[in-house]
């Protein structure tokens, strides 16, 4: 299909029924996959999925909810997110907030951030019903661990990974509470579903209740697992309020504060045999992309994991809050982390 025909077909897709959309994607062999289809890292998911937007709604002020459908969507677990490739090529991460049992369908929600880096503005402005999207298979760095009880805390759009957790915890018969904070009720999505849970859910719209009260969290009993997704300040407060020894699980979609001074170092790209200089005022990712422009990346701020690569030799100055201790033993995030040794060898 020529590009012209494809554009015309996409414009008409909004008029198709959901069944027609499903059939259409199944017959679309020339669907345009992104340039990053073949990532160089063994850590990055190797394939892109394609899905159609079959529903676009606004569950709260400034929040866009999209339902994506495809026969190829892998299973997922509560807490998972997907990398979505926007029409401009920007890649953004969104938590899956639907039901894992609803196979063939993903639901995501996007908060509009007017003064952000552009991803949410593009999503709100260009992602319409009938459009095709590329996304990577779900990844989960915020797994719901089995526990007899949970204390969930969500701030704003941070409710998205928590929603499926509530359903899973309920199905497992666990005790749980949710403190859901936001600027105002009008800005807080999914209120009808949450209010149906009854007194286990405490709503804290700031224009009514002021700053969230974490007193109940301080009294969390032994065995309670704490989960929080929201702004940095909320996550810091939750971490501080949780009783000592209580596992606190945080989902970050904003960068951690940068630490440490930056010195130049060299990076050897083992597979290609080249050595590159990383200047003090640039990231390893920037330097690597001069040699390997297709090296995948997304947030450039150390929280999405797209630029994770294997380290074969050298000492890494890890500056992210994403990787586990195990992952740090042999990998790094190129966009924020640097070297404490003068030289690193990467599996690139
Ligand atoms: Fe997101 Fe590096 S690009 S962690």
Where residue 89 falls among pLDDT bands split at 50, 70, 90?
Answer: confident
Q: Are residues 205 and 176 in the same domain?
A: yes
List the residue whose alpha carbon is closest to atom 4 of ligand 1. 302
Domain containing 68: what range? Answer: 26-135
Ligand 1 pocket check for 299: Cβ under 6 Å: yes
Ligand 1 pocket check for 160: Cβ under 6 Å: no
Instruction: Compute, in angstroms, the gap from residue 336 CA to the centroid of ligand 1.
Output: 8
**CA-333 nearest atom, ligand 1:** 2
Taking Cα atoms as reference points, which of 307, 157, 179 lies closest to residue 241? 179
Q: Are residues 120 and 35 in the same domain?
A: yes
Instruction: Compute, in angstroms, the gap from residue 337 CA to the centroid of ligand 1.
Output: 10
Mean pLDDT over 261-282 rounds to 92
pLDDT for 43 beyond 50 = no
Q: Are residues 165 and 107 in the same domain?
A: no
Provide the number of structural domains found in the chain.
3
Boundary (domain end) residue, out of 196, 218, 251 = 251
Evaluate whether residue 200 is within a structural domain: yes
Over pLDDT 70: what percentage of the chain?
84
**CA-334 nearest atom, ligand 1:** 2
At 201 the pLDDT is: 97
At 219 the pLDDT is: 84
Strands 175-182 and 132-135, bridge-based pairing: unpaired
Instruction: Compute, in angstroms, the gap from residue 291 CA to the centroid of ligand 1.
Output: 18
The string of pLDDT tens digits covering residues 237-270 is 999 999 988 889 998 766 555 556 789 999 999 9
**CA-300 nearest atom, ligand 1:** 3
- 308 near 333, Cβ under 8 Å? yes
Question: In angstroms, how far is CA 341 from the centroid of its own chain?
Answer: 31
Q: Are residues 85 and 111 in the same domain?
A: yes
**CA-298 nearest atom, ligand 1:** 3
Strands 201-205 and 224-229, bridge-based pairing: unpaired
pLDDT for 37 beyond 60 = no
At 17 the pLDDT is: 43
Mean pLDDT over 103-127 rounds to 93
pLDDT for 282 beyond 50 = yes
At 317 the pLDDT is: 93
Q: Are residues 275 and 339 in the same domain?
A: yes
Alpha-helix residue ranges (DSSP H) falling in the chain: 3-13, 18-26, 119-126, 159-171, 191-195, 206-209, 215-218, 232-241, 284-291, 325-328
Of the ranges 81-90, 114-123, 151-160, 317-326, which is most confident?
151-160
Ligand 1 pocket check for 300: Cβ under 6 Å: yes
Q: Are residues 124 and 154 in the same domain?
A: no
- 108 near 84, Cβ under 8 Å? yes
Instruction: Compute, in angstroms, the gap from residue 338 CA to the centroid of ligand 1.
Output: 13
Instruction: Compute, in angstroms, the gap from residue 320 CA to the centroid of ligand 1.
Output: 9
Number of neighbours of residue 137 by Cβ within 10 angstroms: 17
Ligand 1 pocket check for 302: Cβ under 6 Å: yes
Evaluate whether residue 38 is within a structural domain: yes
pTM flag (> 0.85): no
Q: What is the DSSP string of 42-66?
A: SSS----EEEEEEEEEEEETTEEEE
Question: In angstroms, how far is CA 179 from the centroid of its own chain?
Answer: 21
Ligand 1 pocket check for 296: Cβ under 6 Å: no
The string of pLDDT tens digits covering residues 51-64 is 999 999 999 999 99
Where residue 8 falls among pLDDT bands split at 50, 70, 90?
Answer: very low
Boundary (domain end) residue, out of 135, 160, 184 = 135
At 133 the pLDDT is: 93
CATH for 318? 3.10.20.30
**CA-297 nearest atom, ligand 1:** 3
Q: Are residues 181 and 109 in the same domain?
A: no
Mean pLDDT over 286-315 rounds to 89
**CA-335 nearest atom, ligand 1:** 2
Give the separation between CA 108 and CA 323, rounded to whole angstroms: 24
The string of pLDDT tens digits covering residues 197-244 is 999 999 999 999 999 999 989 888 888 999 999 998 999 999 999 998
Strands (E) located in the chain: 49-60, 63-69, 81-85, 91-95, 105-111, 132-135, 149-155, 175-182, 201-205, 224-229, 248-251, 265-269, 274-278, 308-313, 316-317, 331-333, 338-339, 343-346
Average pLDDT along the chain: 85
DSSP, collapsed to helix, strand or coil, labels residue 230 as coil
List of residues 6+ apart from 22 with CB closer than 8 A: 52, 69, 71
Ligand 1 pocket check for 130: Cβ under 6 Å: no
Evaluate whether residue 1 is within a structural domain: no
CATH for 218? 3.40.50.80
Instruction: Compute, in angstroms, the gap from residue 45 CA to the centroid of ligand 1.
Output: 14
At 104 the pLDDT is: 93
pLDDT for 181 beyond 60 = yes
Q: Which of 13-22, 73-82, 135-144, 174-183 has the lowest average pLDDT? A: 13-22
Q: Are residues 178 and 110 in the same domain?
A: no
Give the separation between CA 235 and CA 273, rounded to whole angstroms: 42
Boundary (domain end) residue, out of 98, 113, 135 = 135
**CA-299 nearest atom, ligand 1:** 1
């Amino acid at each position: 299909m020529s590009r012209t025909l494809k554009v015309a077909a996409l414009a008409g897709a909004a008029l198709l029924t959901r069944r027609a959309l499903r059939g259409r994607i199944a017959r679309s062999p020339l669907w345009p996959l992104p340039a990053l289809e073949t990532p160089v890292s063994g850590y990055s998911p190797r394939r892109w999925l394609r899905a159609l937007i079959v529903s676009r709604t606004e569950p709260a002020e400034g929040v866009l909810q999209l339902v994506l459908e495809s026969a190829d969507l892998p299973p997922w677990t509560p807490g998972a997110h997907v990398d979505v490739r926007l029409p401009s090529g920007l890649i953004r991460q969104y938590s899956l907030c639907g039901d894992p049992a609803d196979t063939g369908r993903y639901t995501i929600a996007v908060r509009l951030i007017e003064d952000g880096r552009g991803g949410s503005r593009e999503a709100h402005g260009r992602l319409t019903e009938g459009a095709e999207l590329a996304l990577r298979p779900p990844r989960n760095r915020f797994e719901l661990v089995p526990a007899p009880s949970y204390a969930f805390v969500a701030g704003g759009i941070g409710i998205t990974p928590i929603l499926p957790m509530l359903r899973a915890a309920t199905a497992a018969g666990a005790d749980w509470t949710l403190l859901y904070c936001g600027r105002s009720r009008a800005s807080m999505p999914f209120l009808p579903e949450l209010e149906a849970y009854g007194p286990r859910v405490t709503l804290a719209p700031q224009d009514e209740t002021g700053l969230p009260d974490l007193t109940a969290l301080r009294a969390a009993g032994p065995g309670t697992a704490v989960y929080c997704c929201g702004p940095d300040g909320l996550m810091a407060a939750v971490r501080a309020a949780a009783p000592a020894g209580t596992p606190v699980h945080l989902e970050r979609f904003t960068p951690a504060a940068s630490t440490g001074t930056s010195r130049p170092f060299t990076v050897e790209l083992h597979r290609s045999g080249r050595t590159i200089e990383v200047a003090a005022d640039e990231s390893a990712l920037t330097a690597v992309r001069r040699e390997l422009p297709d090296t995948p990346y997304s947030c450039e701020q150390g929280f999405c994991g797209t630029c994770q690569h294997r380290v074969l030799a050298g000492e890494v100055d890890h500056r992210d809050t994403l990787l586990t201790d195990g992952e740090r033993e042999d990998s790094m995030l190129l966009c924020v982390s640097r070297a404490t040794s003068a030289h690193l060898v990467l599996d690139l």
